[in-house]
Amino acid sequence: MNETQADSSPPDSEQKSDFVKDASILGGGAVDNPVDPQPPHAEAAAENTSSAGDPTEIGGNGQAEDTASVIARAVCETVQDEMAHLLRLVEEKLTSDNFRESQIDRLHDELQEYRSDIVAKALRPIFSAIIRLHGDSGRLAQSLRGEPPDRLSPDRLIRMFEDFREDLERILRDNGVEPYTDQEQADHFNGRRQQAVGFVSTPDEGQHAVVAERVRPGFVYGETVLQKELVRVFKYEPAKPTLAPSNT
Question: Which residue ranges make up each domain of the chain?
Answer: 73-175, 178-238
pLDDT of residue 141: 86
Average pLDDT, the chain: 76
Q: Which fold has domain 178-238?
A: Nucleotide Exchange Factor Grpe; Chain A, domain 2 (2.30.22)
Is the Cβ–Cβ distance between 236 and 203 less than 8 Å?
A: yes
Is the Cβ–Cβ distance between 171 and 126 less than 8 Å?
A: yes
Identify the residue with better confidence: 122 or 169: 169
Using alpha carbons, select from 218, 220, 236, 215 the residue that is nearest to residue 228: 218
* Residue 10 pLDDT > 70: no
User: Could you give the percent of the chain with pLDDT greater than 70?
Assistant: 70
CA–CA separation, 164 and 8 (whole Å): 174
Is the Cβ–Cβ distance between 230 and 197 less than 8 Å?
A: yes
pLDDT bin (cut points 50, 70, 90) of residue 64 is low
pLDDT of residue 197: 95
47 by Cβ neighbours in 10 Å (0-12 / 13-18 / 19+) ranks as exposed
